[in-house]
Each structure stands twice: as C-alpha cells, then as structure tokens.
Structure 1
Amino acid sequence: MVGAKQKVATATRTKSGGPSSSTQASRQDHTMMDKDYTSSDEEMDEEDDIPEKDDVEERLEKLLFGDDEGFQAALKSHGHQGSTDLVLASDQEDGEGDEENEQDMDDVADADLFFLDSGVPELQDAINQPDTMALELKGETSVVTQPTVWNDSDDERVSISLAGHSRLRKLRVAESEDVVNGTEYIRRLRTQYLRLHPTPDWANMELRKKRKTRKTNHGSSGSEVSSSEGEMDTDDDDEDISVKPLAKLLQGAGDLIKGSEESASGKRVKLRQEVIDIRRLKDVGGVQPSSIDSLSFHPHHSLLLSSGPASTVWLHHISPSAPTPSNLLTSLQIRKTPLYTSAFAAPSGNKIYASGRRRYFHVWDLESGRIEKINPTADRKEEQKSMERFKLSPCGRYIGLIGSARKGGGMINILDSTTAQWIAQARVDGLGGVADFAWWADGNGMVIASKNGEISEFDMRLRRVICRWTDAGAVGTTVIALGGSSGRPQLGGDRWVAVGSFSGIVNIYDRKPWQGAAAQAEQSKKHNIEDAIPSNPTPVRALEQLTTSITQIVFAPDGQFMVMASKWKRDALRLVHLPSCTVYRNWPTSNTPFGRITAVAISPQSNLLAVANEQGKIRLWEING
C-alpha cells in the first residue's frame, strides 16, 4: 500500500509541471539530437569506404564489358575466325537457321564480337599492283587493265551464292559452282556487262594508239571512218581529221551509180500544167535523231546530203531503180555543233560545208577525206558572231554569210571559198536587217531581201548595190529565191525571182524584161542599170495557197517548176508550174504525209524531190512528167 501511494504521488507531481520535469525533458531532447548527428556522420564515413570487388563481381564485369587481354586477343585472331564472315544468303534460305545462329552467338564473349578493320594482309600486294580482272567464260575473255582507285577489304569476306539466285546462275563457270567471294563476283559482273555491251572504239585505248600510229605512218593527222560504220566524232579543237575519200565510199555502189546516172542523163520530159505525174519512193534512211534542217543533192553523183541539230551529216546514195533506193554511205558527227546549214560546194561538189551557231564552220574534202575547222578573220567577230546561215555561190568562188550586226539595216559578209578570207561586204538599208539572200546563177552577184520588203541587187564585180526595188504588198519578207534561165547574162541570167512573206503570200517576178533593159543601159553611155529596173515592179503571179509564214522556196534546176512550203503548218507545201505560174491541183493530196516541213531539195536532173520534216524523216518522190 505504501509503494502504491508513492507512485501516485510521483505521477501527480509530474502532471503539475514542476521545474524539475521541464529541465529533464530539455536534457532528453539534446541527447537525442546528438545521437542523430553521430549516426549520420557514421553513415557518410561508411559510404566513402567502397568495398573491394569480389570474384563474382569481377567475372560479371568481364563478361559484360570485356578486358584488355580479350580485346588484344580478338585483334590477333579475327583474321582466322570464320564467325566474322558476312554471308549473302539465297532467297530459299532466308529465315532458316536464325535460332541456331543466335544460340551460337550466346556462347561468344562480347569482346570477340568486335574487331578493328585493318584490311586483309593478303590483298596488300594486290593493291599496289594494277588490277587485271580477267575471266574466261564459254571461251570468251574480258580483260580490264585499268588499275583500281580503291579496294574494299570487305569484298574478300563477302560470300555470294550464285546457284541460289536465279539471276546469278549465268555467272557460274561450272554448274556445280555455288559460292564466290565479293571480288570474284565483281569480276564476273563486269565481264557479263562487257559481253552484252562491248567497249566502243573511242574508249579502246589500244585501238586509238594503233590508229594514231597508222595516221603517223600515212602522214595524216586524222582518224579513218569505214563506210560500213559510217560515223565519226570530231572535237572542237584545231586538230585536222580525215575520213575515207568519196571514191572509196562509192566503190561498193559504183554499178548502181552508173546505172542511175545513165538513166537520169536522158532527155528531160516537158511538164504539163495543173497535173503532174509523180510517184512516191521509199523514205531515205530511217528516222533521224533530230529534225532535218538542211537538204541538198550532189551536182554530179546520186548523193543526198542531210544534217540537223543532232550534229551529224549524213550521205545517202539515191537510186530509184535499185532494190534499196537509199543506202547510207557514211555519216560525220561534229560534236558540240548543232548543224543549221550544210551544202555541196559547186560546181564540182568535191567539198561539203557545214556550220551551226558557232564562230567557225567545217569543210569536208570528199576527194582526200580531210575535215578542216575554219575560223574566219578575227577583225569581223562583232559583225559575224555566227556562221549558221550561209550560201555558196554557184561558181564556187564565194561564201555568203548573213551578218549579225543590224546597224544601218543589215549586211552580207563574203568570204573567199579557197582561203576563207573576208573579201567584201554587201550592206543594205532595209529596216529589220537581212531576211534572206540568193546568189545569181553565174556567181557574180546576189539579190538581198530585207525584212521590210526592200530588195537589193549586189554586183560582186563592182562591189556595190546596183539597184533596189520593193516587193509588192510585202508584209515581213522571209525568203527569196532565183531560178530558171533567161538566156541573157545581165543580172546573173536568172529569169525568175520569188519572194515569200510572213503572211504566206509568194510573189513571182519575171526578170527577163529587166535584163533586156539592163543590156540597153550598158550599151548606152550612161551605163545606169538602176534606171532600167523598176523600183516597184508588178509580180507575174501572187500565190495565196499557203496561209502561214513561208520558209522554203526552191526552183528546179531546169526551171520547169518551183516548190514553196511552210513549216508552221502540217503538210503546207505546193508545187508551182513554170512559166505559167499555176499551182498543180492533183498533188499534193490530203493524204500526202509531209508533216512539218523543214527542208526541201530537188535533184540536178529535176526528177527527184526530197522533203524533210521535224520528225527526222526524209520523204522522196520521183517526177516523171
């Protein structure tokens, strides 16, 4: 009882909050805080002291990250391990064996899965030597002696199945052969490509060296072109080039040429008015790679010259009675020069002149086979920036070029055909510049048409314009042509002059009365031809059958008919009878396949008509009467 009473009393004093109780509580709080700080410091000391790795942890770390010893061992042994090869599996084997490969790779250390690609030691000697890739397949050998610029060391480790791929089976040497490495695979692919696409002659260095040696031995600096291949390239440098002479090109067609020329040398039948007897022949050649912008017949042989933007000149032999009426004799390609004009040099026709929108032109000598690049004098560069529009004189002495400068009207620069030197200049005062010009039949002068319809007669002997006259109702003159024979030497001896305009109208004038008046003026003391020619002549006939701009007017050499055409409308061509100046009504018909006409040519015997179009086709007709 006494003990119980003492406990109750003690509890009562504690609740009453005496001084002694509060002091004890504060002491207890400080004691607890000191213990907390002490425990935290001890924990920090324990974290700073990292324990050493045991054997289990070291083995685990080596398994995950590897060690230096394993890395060096992998570098030494990677060339002898087969597990690092890259395999191109066949289509039938795709997806098979994946689980087995994964199980095998689980047992390989991570350090062995990587290696330093330092190349295959066996290939080091081959890298320093030219890679002569040769492979014999079915008796064929393809050798490439060009050294490789770079070699990939992975090619030796790549494996390709030839039997598993249906497209690769043709690369096998034997039927039992299957897997080859990457280098051998590349060799066989190259050989297969060369078998399907042989190396062209221009890329064969050995053949080029042989040709160069042959040219040096024969004293020529060009490359030969056979009549069977019929194609040649020329660079834009000043190197002279040669091809086979025309005599060799015509050897195979000698009998055909002789027969065709004998048949054409007969008496020409006089053509009727309004109705013409014409027969279509087989087209000349195939479809050319571009439009044909220039056509011309050889003055003596049955040859047709054609050219266009494809930078190629074609020579076809024409024989209507032969089984193949048009055979390609040869072709000449002038690289980087889209051709605008090409023509035989009259009167012999032993040279071909070809030019494009360049400051130079090319001359092909058919007798020697030599091709020359002609650069005119430098002092005329501003006046003659392009040689694309030229015409050769019928006498063969001059070359007329339409000048680039239009100051004061326009100009025609005249060169000597032998030396290619500038000798004269014909200036006209017509507005808009020169539209077109045509040489007199004797080559002693020319007629020049300005775009405003003013026509000038230029005399080469006097080096000046002797008279001017205006085309009737001219609305933008586009083309002019001379033809026929008047029997008088004045004004070149041409009887007819035809002027085409932008509106599609063609005016035909008879120059015979003018020539008679000019002859009387020469006999008189005044010698003033300008007064003898009317300034505003009246045309004999104004042809209005075409409605678009006239681009072609060609007279037949015998003067019995004329062709006028426009390329701005399909099938826009008409045949005009001379001297009646009437249009033939039975031809062309609505079914005549002209297309958009770009060039027209008539044979020297006036019995063949060639028409070229934008599609690169050359149509041919024979005129019988």
Structure 2
Amino acid sequence: MLFTENKSKKALISSEEQGSQKKRDKKKGKKGAKALADGISSWATSVNSDGVVPAWSDASVDKLQVNIEDRSRLRKLKKEEGETLVTGDIYMKRLQDHYNTTSGAADLFAWAKPQPPKPSHHSENIDEEDPITQLLKSNTSVFSSHTTGLLKPGQRLDYTKLQHANNGSYHASVVTAVEFHPSEEGLLATAGLDRKVQLYSVARERESQKVQTIVLPDLPVYQAKFIGDGSQMIISGNRKYFYYYDLEANKLEKVHGVHGGAFSNTGDALTSLTRLFTPPSPQADLFAFADGDSGSISVLSQKTKKMAFELKLSSSSCTSVGFSGGPDPRLLYAVGDQAEIYVWDIRHSRKCLSKVQDEGCFNTTHLTVSADGSQLATGSHSGVVNVYKTETEGKPLTLVKSILNLTTAITDLKFDPTGQLLAVCSKWKKNALRLIHTGPGGTFTTYQNFPAGHAVGVLKYPLCMGFSSDSQYFAMGNDEGKAHLWHLSHFSGRVNSD
C-alpha cells in the first residue's frame, strides 16, 4: 500500500514537472522566433559593398576577437608586424583570400560576382560587347586557346588534389616507384620494398580501383617500369637478377643476372640492379642498368632482355642515365659523382662525343631528358637543378637556367610528356616537391601554389614521381607507402591540333 502511494506521488510530481517544462519551452520558442525574426530583418536590411543582399549574415561575427598570433598556423594571416587580434569578419575575409591565393581558385566563382551592365543589343560597336558575342561574330575557333596545348607560365597552377591512388591498400614500406602506362590513360603502377607492384585505374570522377597486385617472392622492389607498348614491365632491385612481367599473359619471369659486363666489378654480372632507366619513347627497344660502383652502363634489348652493349664512365660511379627522344634514340646521356655529363652516340659509333661539366654542381644525383629530347635537367646533392637545351648552336648542351628552390639532395626529376613541366623532389625534407614551368617562353617559373594548401609535412618525404601519358595526372610516392595523386586541369582541356 505504501509502495502504491509513493508511486502515485512520483507520477503527480512528474506530471507537474512536464507541465512546467512545456511552459518554459513555449517561452523559449517565442524568444527564438523573435530572435529569428530580428535576424531576418537584419539580413534583409544588410547590403554589402557591391549593393547586393548577402545570402546569409551573422552580426555576432563582428563582435568576435580572433588571436592570430597564438597559433603558428594562423600567423600567415597577419598583414602587419605585431598584429595580434582581428575581428571575426576580418578573420573570415583573410581566410578566404588565403584559400583563393594558395588553391589557384581565385576566379572559380567569378561568374557569381556582379557584372557591369551589358550594352544594348542594338549597339554596333563590337568592342563594347561581351566576349561571347565577340566570339560568335568572329571566325575564331572556340577551342583556339587549347589547340597548342601550351601551359601558361605564372604563379598559380590549376590542379585538383585527388585521393591517394592506392587508398586503402598502402605499401607496407616506402614507395620506391610510381609509373603510368605509356598508352592506357589512368593506369598507374606503384612499387615498394614490401616486394609488391600494384596496378591501379585512376580517374578524377571516382576513387582509384586496384587492378592487379604482383608479388615478388624474393625481391624488394626499387624500380618498376613499363617497356615497349606497355604490355611488359621490368622490375628490379638490389639483387643480381631482375624480373619482367607480361601484363597480357599475367606471367612473371626471372632473368638471372646481366652478363657480359667487361667493366663491372665481377667481370660477368652486375651485383645490384637498383638503377634502371628506359627511353621516353615506348617504341624504343632499349633499357639500361647503371652500376654505382664501377661506373659502367649495361644497355639491354627490351625484346630479348639480353646485353646489347656496354659503356663506361671515367669516374668511379654512374648515378643516372637518360636517352634522347624518338623510336630509335641516337644519344645516351649519363652522369656520375664527378658532376660531368657524358654524351654518347649509341646509334652508330657508340663513342663518347663530349663531356660537359654540370655547372655549379659537385655531385650530380639525377638526370632526366624530355620526351622530344630537346631539354635535359640535372639535380645535385646540394639541391641545385640545372636545365639545359640539347644540341643548340653546335653545342651538345647549353645551360639555360639554374633553379635553387630546394636545398637538399635531389631524389627524382621528371618532365611531363609535353615538356612544359618539370617535377623535382627530395626525400631528405618533408614536402620537398616542386613543379616548374619549362615550356615556351623560357620563364622557368616555380608554381607557388603547388603543393600549397597542404600543411608542411602532410606529403611527408617524397621519393619518386610520374606523369600520365596525357599529362592529366601526376603521382608522387612517399615514405609512408602512399601514392599521392593530382589532376592537372589544364591538360584535360587540351585539344590536339591534328
């Protein structure tokens, strides 16, 4: 009986509390409605500097005080030395300006900005008409700005950062190689010391999809490159042997050593095949291994996988090799630890034509040649990058620019297939990745907004890079086993002149 009585009292108290709560909620609702009405009224009467009513405005933002000195990531928003506090609206404006500057999207929403009144359609002065009208009245091609495919030099590059190419299946080691297929657009290979080569189909509109995983039972992979028409890959590492993989037959074959090397330390085979180089043209029937100990270069046939001939640097080490362009490369370039660039005729005499000192360098770490063979770039131990024109005015190499953006040893250099971009990276410093304009005009501008937008260190330590055959995609492999991926918007709008 006592239990029933207590239960009734609790029910009564609960009912009274619910009634009180409803009254309080009703009062709050009235206050909220009034606040909302006041906010709408404020919005309706507020007008920005362009005379346009904003879609949303919060008066309380002006009352905020943001300290941009306390946090290091906000100090980039300072306009004056000693500036500490800014109001909320100024803070928002500076964030927006900083994003527009670093992302290359400053004019992304230009269409939404108020435009000056258009002239009457009765106007006969074509100079006063809008650009679309002028274009329609002229005989200029709609695609005239893209027919040459020329990338404009400037401070900003138009690009989009995509998800990691190997998202969800990162390498359990550093990424040692990224390589795009020479003809299948969007097919990317990544390799690592975890003894795996992974193939992905990449696209801007969707996540990358893994196509194949190749497991090497006894080879931590240093290099993985497509050869020929892309139906095969050469895979090598710090071993006396290498593999070639047939994509169509899904077949993996081991080649036991590179024999016939008269200049190698062993006399008959190279002891390490970590330095693998292929020509820029998929029609060329050559590839090469460089020996870092003896300075020898073993050039092999892509068809037979056997030695074709061998070359030798006078220095004790060969660090990098590059072939001239075309289906039948005429020249081979090589560099060693003495910073001398060797130029060989490999089509006829197989003799060294000249040696050129890599200017301003004492230890050249890498060399690359553009697809058409007209440009050659070197990277040094001190971070200096030299760009040369090949075979100009009777000279084998003519220095046109020294680039000093990086301060640590250059790990990789790559020209894009059009020769308008040069990618440079160093594994010795976080975020040490740059894209440089090397196209017509000779500006050699380093794009300041790439890879801006990422906090220093997000990309970690870059080890290798690659461009797709149409230059639309750029990939970089880092020390975390990730393959970062970008879409270069300029090249997606490119229209071939033929």
Please point out which of 445, 462, 487 is paired with 1:582: 445
* Counterpart among 460, 467, 490 of residue 354 in structure 2: 467
CA shift for structure 1 position 570: 0.1
Equivalent residues of 1:385, 1:404 under 8 A apart: no
Decide whether the 8 Å contact of 1:376 with 1:422 is kept in 2: no
- Any idea what the Cα deviations from partners look like across 1:503-555, whole Å, max 9, x if unmatched? 111111122525xx2xxxxxxxxxxxxxx447xx5x21111110100111100
Q: Could you tell me how far apart the structure 2 residues matched to 1:617 and 1:556 are?
A: 21
Q: Which residue of 2 aligns with 1:304?
A: 188
C-alpha separation in 2, matches of 1:317 and 1:306: 11
The alpha-carbon deviation at position 611 of structure 1 amounts to 1.0
Decide which of 435, 441, 460 is 2:325's aligned counterpart.
441
Whether 2:424 is the aligned partner of 1:564: answer: yes
What amino acid maps onto 1:589 in structure 2? A
1:376–1:420 CA contact under 8 A, matched in 2: no
1:456 has 2:342 as partner: yes
User: What's 2:230 paired with?
Assistant: 349
Shift of the alpha carbon at 1:396? 3.6
Q: Given that residues 290 and 310 in structure 1 are in contact (C-alpha distance below 8 angstroms), is that contact kept between their aligned partners in structure 2? A: yes
2:374 aligns with 495
Instruction: Indicate the structure with greater helix content.
Output: 1
Superposed displacement of residue 391, structure 1: 1.4
Distance 1:365 1:578 in 2: 35
Mark the CA change 1:313 to 1:604 in structure 2 (over 3 Å): closer, same or farther. Answer: same
Structure 1 residue corresponding to 2:310, chosen from 415, 425, 444: 425
Instruction: Determine which structure has greater relative contact order: mean sequence separation of CA pairs < 8 Å that are 6+ residues apart, divided by chain length.
Output: 2
Matching residue within 271, 276, 298 for 2:151: 271
Q: Output the amino acid matched with 2:160.
A: R
Following superposition, the deviation at residue 270 of structure 1 comes to 2.7
1:313 matches 2:197: yes
Q: Deviations over 1:129-170 (max 9, x none)?
A: xxxxxxxxxxxxxxxxxxxxxxxxxxxxxxxxxxxxxxxxxx
Distance of 1:317 and 1:605 partners within structure 2: 15
**Counterpart of 2:333 in structure 1: which amino acid?**
V
1:329 aligned to which of 194, 206, 211 = 211
2:388 aligned residue: 509
Amino acid at match of 1:427: K
Superposition TM-score, scaled by structure 2 size: 0.63
Deviations 1:182-217 (A, max 9, x none): xxxxxxxxxxxxxxxxxxxxxxxxxxxxxxxxxxxx
Separation in 2, partners of 1:562, 1:392: 18
Is the contact between residue 461 and residue 478 of structure 2 (CA under 8 Å) also seen in structure 1? yes
Q: Distance in 2 between matches of 1:587 and 1:404?
A: 33
Q: Shift in Å at residue 444 of structure 1?
A: 3.0
Taking a change above 3 Å as real, the CA distance of residues 378 and 343 of structure 1, as seen in their structure-2 partners, is closer
Are residues 1:295 and 2:181 paired?
no
Structure-2 separation of matches of 1:568 and 1:349: 32
What secondary structure, in the 3-state scheme, does the structure 1 residue paired with 2:406 have? coil
CA gap of 1:268–1:612, structure 2 versus 1, over 3 A, is farther
Q: Quote the Cα distance in structure 1 between the aligned partners of 2:211 and 2:453.
A: 34
Alpha-carbon offset, residue 349 of structure 1: 0.4
Gaps spanning 5+ residues in structure 1: where?
1-265, 486-493, 518-531
Measured after TM superposition, the shift of residue 405 of structure 1 is: 4.3
Task: Compute the displacement of 1:420 (Å).
Answer: 2.0
1:587 partner letter = F
Does residue 612 (structure 1) correspond to residue 477 (structure 2)? The answer is: yes
User: TM-score, structure 1 length as denominator?
Assistant: 0.50
Counterparts of 1:586 and 1:469 in 2: how far apart (Å)? Answer: 34
Change (3 A) 1:344 1:438: same
Residues 279-336 of structure 1 show CA distances to partners (whole Å, capped at 9, x for unaligned) of 1111112222111100100011121011110001100011212x32x10011011112
Taking the aligned partners of 1:378 and 1:554, their CA distance within structure 2 comes to 30
User: Aligned pair in 2 of structure 1 residues 499, 379: CA closer, same or farther (>3 Å)?
Assistant: closer
Aligned partners of 2:249, 2:284: CA distance in 1, in Å? Answer: 18
Q: What is the rounded CA distance, in whole Å, between the counterparts of 2:332 and 2:369 in structure 1?
A: 9
User: How much has 1:352 moved relative to structure 2?
Assistant: 0.9
For residues 355-405 of structure 1, the C-alpha deviation after alignment (integer angstroms, 9 at most, x for no partner) is 111111111111222211112455545451122211123334112011254
Matches within 5 A, 1:587-598: 587-589=450-452, 591=454, 593-598=458-463
Check conservation: 2:411, 2:426, Cα contact below 8 A. Answer: yes
What one-letter code is carried by the residue in structure 2 that aligns with 1:449? V
1:70-102: CA deviations, max 9, x gaps? xxxxxxxxxxxxxxxxxxxxxxxxxxxxxxxxx
Alpha-carbon shift at residue 268 of structure 1 (Å): 7.3
Give secondary structure in 1 for the equivalent of 2:392: helix
Question: C-alpha separation between the residues in 2 aligned to 1:554 and 1:267?
Answer: 24
CA distance in 2, matches of 1:271, 1:512: 24
Identity across matched positions, percent: 25
Letter in 1 for 2:385: V
Contact 1:401 1:413 (8 Å CA) reproduced: yes
RMSD: 1.9
3-state SS in 1 of match to 2:481: coil
